Chain A
Amino acid sequence: MRVNFTVNGRPQEADDVWEGESLLYVLRERLGLPGSKNACEQGECGSCTVRLDGEPVCACLVAAGQVEGREVVTVEGLADFAKQRAERGGCATGACGTDGKAGTSLQDAQHWAAKGQDSQTGEGTELSPVQQAFIDAGAVQCGFCTPGLLVAADEMLERNPNPTDADIREALSGNLCRCTGYEKIMDAVRLAAARQGEAV
Chain B
Amino acid sequence: MPANGAPTKITQGTRTKGGIGESTLRPDGTLKVTGEFAYSSDMWHEDMLWGQILRSTVAHAEIVSIDTSEALAMAGVYAVMTYDDLPTDVRNYGLEIQDTPVLAHGKVRHHGEPVAIVAADHPETARRAAAKIKVDYRELPVITDEASATAPDAILVHEGRDDHHSGHVPHPNIVHRQPILRGDAAAAAERADFVVKGEYTFGMQDQAFLGPESGLAVPDEDGGVHLYIATQWLHSDLKQIAPVLGLPERKVRMTLSGVGGAFGGREDLSMQIHACLLAMRTGKPVKIVYNRFESFFGHVHRHPAKLYYEHGATKDGKLTHVKCRIVLDGGAYASASPAVVGNASSLSIGPYVVDDVDIEAIALYTNNPPCGAMRGFGAVQACFAYEAQMDKLADAVGMDRVAFRQLNAMEQGTIMPTGQPVDSPAPVAELLRRVKAMPLPPERQWESSEGSDVRQLPGGLSNTTHGEGVVRGVGYAVGIKNVGFSEGFDDYSTAKVRMEVIAGQPVATVHTAMAEVGQGGVTVHAQIARTELGVTQVTIHPADTQVGSAGSTSASRQTYVTGGAVKNSCELVREKVLEIGRRKFGSYHPAWATAELLLEGGKVVTDGGEVLADLVDVLEGESVEVEAEWRHRPTEAFDLRTGQGNGHVQYSFAAHRAVVEVDTELGLVKVIELACAQDVGKALNPLSVIGQIQGGTLQGMGVAVMEEIIVDPKTAKVRNPSFTDYLLPTILDTPIIPVDVLELADDHAPYGLRGIGEAPTLSSTPAVLAAIRNATGLELNRTPVRPEHLTGTA
Contacts and interface: CB of A to CB of B under 8 A. Distances in A.
B444 interface: no
Nearest to B700: A181
A169 B30 contact: no
B37 interface: yes
Interface residues of B, number: 64
Given A20-B124, A42-B724, A143 B37 contact: yes
A38 interface: yes
B775 to A, nearest CB: 22
B308 interface: no
- Most central of B30, B44, B696, B731 by chain A CB within 10 Å: B731
Contacts of A76: 34-36
Nearest to B36: A35
B34 A35 contact: yes
Contact of B734 (A74, A140, A182): A182
B455 A166 contact: yes
Contacts of B210: 37, 39-40, 45, 47, 142, 144-145, 176-178
Interface in A142-200: 142-147, 150, 166, 168-170, 172-186
B778 interface: no
A136 B25 contact: yes
A138 interface: yes
- Most central of B207, B210, B453, B520 by chain A CB within 10 Å: B210
A161 B25 CA distance: 26
Given A29-B44, A144-B210, A186 B731 contact: yes
Chain A interface, >50% SS class: loop
A150 B33 contact: yes
Interface residues of A, number: 61
A15 to B, nearest CB: 13
Contact of A34 (B35, B123, B734): B35
B39 interface: yes
Interface string B497-530: 0000000000000000000011110000000000
B698 A182 contact: yes
Interface stretch (B83-91, B92-100, B257-265): B257-265
Contact of B261 (A44, A144, A166, A170): A144
A78 to B, nearest CB: 8
Nearest to A151: B35
Nearest to B293: A42
B270 interface: no
B209 A178 contact: yes
A79 interface: yes
- Most central of A36, A172, A184 by chain B CB within 10 Å: A184
A131 interface: yes
A36 B42 CA distance: 10
A143 B292 contact: no
A58 to B, nearest CB: 12
A96 interface: no
B35 A74 contact: yes
A33 interface: yes
Given A142-B517, A169-B455, A40 B723 contact: yes
B616 to A, nearest CB: 24
Given A32-B44, A166-B453, A181 B737 contact: yes
Contacts of B456: 166
B337 interface: no
A138 B687 contact: yes
B2 to A, nearest CB: 31
Given A44-B723, A142-B518, 11 more contacts: A29-B44, A34-B38, A37-B260, A39-B211, A75-B34, A127-B34, A138-B23, A144-B261, A145-B210, A172-B731, A185-B731
22 contacts: A32-B44, A37-B41, A40-B210, A42-B293, A42-B723, A47-B210, A74-B35, A75-B35, A135-B29, A138-B23, A138-B688, A140-B29, A142-B209, A142-B210, A142-B260, A143-B28, A144-B209, A175-B730, A178-B699, A179-B518, A181-B698, A183-B691
